[in-house]
């Protein structure tokens, strides 16, 4: 962002501002959700995963803002949510909440240095904006990739979640932006908050979460505190560069993994940890905040081993992977091959799992341990 001639600097600039906008939206919805115990705002999708008013509202807002900033209706956006559930007659209450959350957020656009709509959007336009994100990506051209709320379970529990926005250019992740509303910029904040206590109640009211962003090939990644529309917009000035940890001794390394056993085999990763000589207890964290923790140097290792047959989606990884890489780290599948974002909505060909590390030395050890352990397990 420091040089306007750099490729995709406009895209990055807009993406960062839009993510700040929707972080505010999510914070408001999360507060309401936790204070009113408003189960009205949560729906089950067909696969039993949760989706909230925030997921749809963020997707509609980002879709509308990107379309406005970059050439109208035919930009390609790959995103998690569709309009099926929200379009059903039983969902009219949710749709109403989404429409008002979207309009409230879009009305703030000028305060973030962006252009909002001239008049409030109606339900049809909001559904259209959500539905426009139906691209399936691929190897050619530019595709935006969005997980409107990553870690919905963390979100509804008042814990960690992330808004993840990336852009893939000819099959490679070119920019990545991660909004982490419950991850304060202060050092060690994740370790402090993740010891089984709900984040919201622990965060002091003056602490802000962060937005992290990067551009491929810059060799740099940045972090800023969340900026609210009522503050002066100081996107550039408030940013500082972040870097991975320099710890390469397994005995001192911290490793992160998903909170839920259904998302990653905890006993397999415990075996790896033991083989490699990791001493600390795993840090179990919801959402792509795990990648953020590696990029910021608060943890050294992130391992995820999903059940056999599970296909990882690009929106769950694109922004986080680029952040770790540009901050100096390394991310591959469990066989040591870089992740392939060029093959549609899934990370096709992924070997067993995902390993992100602060440096090559730790990474090599983990991959070796995976090979050694695999024979004896039946994942
Ligand atoms: C939008 O559509 C036009 C005409 O079909 C095409 O030339 C252009 O490349 C498209 N833009 C994007 C971003 O897909
Ligand atoms: C994707 O959405 C656009 C705009 O809403 C629509 O015209 C198109 O038919 C949709 N494509 C698919 C594959 O559903
Ligand atoms: C998890 O990994 C262990 C080996 O560490 C294996 O025995 C077990 O079957 C795996 N669980 C699942 C659900 O795949
Ligand atoms: Mg999601």
Give the tokens for residue 200: 């919201």
Ligand 3, residue 377: give the atom nearest the CA: 4
Q: Mean pLDDT across the stretch 203-230?
A: 85
The verdict on 235 and 259 lying in the same domain is: no
pLDDT for 2 equals 47
* Ligand 2 center–CA 128 separation, angstroms: 9
pLDDT for 204 equals 58
The answer to whether residue 3 sits within a structural domain is: no
Which ligand has the nearest atom to the CA of 153? 4
The verdict on 222 and 131 lying in the same domain is: yes
If one compares 360 and 261, the residue with the highest pLDDT of the two is 360
- Is residue 352 within 6 Å of ligand 3 at its C-beta? no
Q: Which of 261, 267, 306 to mutate to test the pocket of ligand 3 (most atoms within 8 A of CB)?
A: 267
Residue 71 CB partners (closer than 8 Å, separation 6+): none
pLDDT for 133 equals 96
Residues spanned by the domain of 213: 9-242
Residue identifier of the C-alpha nearest atom 13 of ligand 2: 134
Where in the sequence numbering do the catalytic residues fall?
55, 152
Over residues 341-351, the pLDDT tens digits come to 999 999 999 99
Q: How far is CA 56 from the centre of its chain?
A: 15
The yes-or-no verdict on residue 228 having pLDDT over 90 is: no
The verdict on 286 and 164 lying in the same domain is: no
Q: CATH number of the domain at 290, please.
A: 3.40.190.80
Q: In the listed set 242, 272, 293, which residue is the last one of a domain according to the structure?
A: 242
pLDDT for 190 equals 75
Q: Is 150 annotated as a binding residue?
A: yes
Residues that place a CB less than 5 A from ion ligand 4: 80, 147, 149-150
Q: Mean pLDDT across the stretch 293-302?
A: 97
The verdict on 257 and 226 lying in the same domain is: no
pLDDT for 158 equals 86
- Is residue 309 within 6 Å of ligand 1 at its C-beta? no
Q: What is the mean pLDDT of the chain?
A: 89
- Tell me the pLDDT band of 3, cut-offs 50, 70 and 90: very low
Q: Is 6 annotated as a binding residue?
A: no
The yes-or-no verdict on residue 38 having pLDDT over 60 is: no
The yes-or-no verdict on residue 1 having pLDDT over 50 is: no
Which ligand has the nearest atom to the CA of 82? 2
- Is residue 73 within 6 Å of ligand 1 at its C-beta? no
pTM, two decimals, is 0.92
pLDDT for 233 equals 57
Q: In the listed set 218, 242, 266, which residue is the last one of a domain according to the structure?
A: 242
The yes-or-no verdict on residue 172 having pLDDT over 80 is: yes
The verdict on 140 and 218 lying in the same domain is: yes
Q: What is the 3-state secondary structure (H, E, C) of the chain?
A: CCCCCCCCHHHHHHHHHHHHHHHHHHHHHHHHHHHHCCHHHEEECCCCCEEEHHHHHHHHHHHHHHHHHCCHHHCCEEECCCCHHHHCHHHHHHHHHHHHHHHHHHCCHHHHCCCCCCCCCCHHHHHHHHHCCECCCCCCCEEEEEEEEECHHHHHCCCCCEEEEEEEECCEEEEEEEEECCCCCCCCHHHHHCCCCCHHHHCCCCCCCEEEEEECCCCCEEEEECCCCCCCCCCCCCCEEECCCCCCCHHHCCEEECCCCCCCCHHHHHHHHHHHCCCCCCEECCCCHHHHHHHCCCCCEEEECCCCCCCCEHHHCHHHHHHHHHCCCEEEECCCCCCCCCCCCECCCCCCCEEEECCHHHHHHHHHHHHHHHCCCCC
How many distinct structural domains can be found in the chain? 2
Q: In the listed set 242, 263, 290, which residue is the last one of a domain according to the structure?
A: 242
The yes-or-no verdict on residue 187 having pLDDT over 80 is: no
- Tell me the pLDDT band of 4, cut-offs 50, 70 and 90: very low
The position carrying tokens 């656009």 is 109
- Is residue 74 within 6 Å of ligand 1 at its C-beta? yes
Q: Which of 10, 66, 71, 74 to mutate to test the pocket of ligand 1 (most atoms within 8 A of CB)?
A: 74
Q: CATH number of the domain at 17, please.
A: 3.30.540.10
The verdict on 286 and 194 lying in the same domain is: no
Residue identifier of the C-alpha nearest atom 7 of ligand 1: 74
The yes-or-no verdict on residue 334 having pLDDT over 50 is: yes
CA–CA distance, 359 with 159 (Å, rounded to integer): 28
pLDDT for 80 equals 94
The yes-or-no verdict on residue 70 having pLDDT over 80 is: yes
The answer to whether residue 2 sits within a structural domain is: no
The answer to whether residue 340 sits within a structural domain is: yes
Q: Mean pLDDT across the stretch 284-308?
A: 96
Q: Is 147 annotated as a binding residue?
A: yes
Residue identifier of the C-alpha nearest atom 3 of ligand 2: 132
If one compares 74 and 353, the residue with the highest pLDDT of the two is 353
Q: Is 80 annotated as a binding residue?
A: yes
If one compares 7 and 339, the residue with the highest pLDDT of the two is 339
Residue identifier of the C-alpha nearest atom 12 of ligand 2: 134
pLDDT for 196 equals 47
């Amino acid at each position: 962002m420091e040089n306007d001639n750099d490729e995709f600097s406009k895209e990055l600039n807009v993406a960062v501002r839009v993510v700040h906008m929707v972080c505010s939206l999510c914070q408001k919805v999360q507060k309401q959700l936790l204070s009113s115990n408003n189960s009205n705002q949560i729906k089950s999708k067909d696969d039993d995963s949760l989706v909230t008013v925030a997921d749809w509202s963020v997707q509609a807002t980002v879709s509308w803002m990107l379309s406005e900033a970059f050439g109208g209706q035919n930009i390609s956006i790959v995103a998690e949510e569709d309009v099926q559930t929200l379009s059903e007659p039983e969902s009219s209450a949710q749709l109403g909440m989404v429409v008002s959350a979207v309009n409230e957020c879009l009305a703030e656009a000028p305060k973030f240095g962006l252009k909002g709509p001239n008049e409030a959007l109606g339900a049809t336009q909001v559904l259209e904006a959500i539905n426009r994100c139906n691209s399936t990506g691929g190897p050619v051209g530019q595709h935006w990739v969005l997980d409107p709320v990553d870690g919905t379970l963390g979100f509804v529990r008042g814990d960690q979640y992330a808004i993840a926005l990336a852009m893939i250019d000819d099959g490679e992740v070119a920019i990545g932006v991660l909004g982490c509303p419950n991850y304060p910029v202060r050092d060690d904040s994740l370790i402090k908050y993740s010891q089984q206590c709900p984040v919201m109640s622990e965060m002091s009211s003056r602490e802000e979460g962060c937005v992290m962003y990067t551009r491929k090939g810059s060799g740099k990644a940045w972090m800023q505190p969340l900026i609210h529309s009522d503050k002066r917009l100081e996107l550039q000035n408030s940013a500082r560069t972040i870097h991975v940890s320099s710890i390469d001794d397994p005995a001192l390394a911290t490793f992160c993994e998903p909170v839920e056993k259904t998302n990653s085999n905890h006993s397999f990763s415990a075996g790896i940890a033991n083989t490699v000589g990791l001493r600390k207890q795993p840090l179990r964290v919801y959402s792509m905040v795990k990648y953020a923790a590696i990029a910021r140097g608060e943890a050294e290792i992130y391992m995820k081993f999903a059940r056999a047959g599970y296909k990882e989606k690009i929106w769950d990884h694109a922004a986080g992977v680029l952040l770790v890489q540009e901050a100096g780290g390394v991310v591959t599948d469990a066989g040591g091959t870089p992740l392939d974002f060029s093959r549609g909505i899934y990370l096709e060909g992924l070997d067993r799992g995902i390993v992100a590390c602060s440096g090559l030395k730790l990474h090599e050890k983990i991959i070796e341990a995976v090979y050694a352990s695999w024979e004896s397990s039946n994942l």
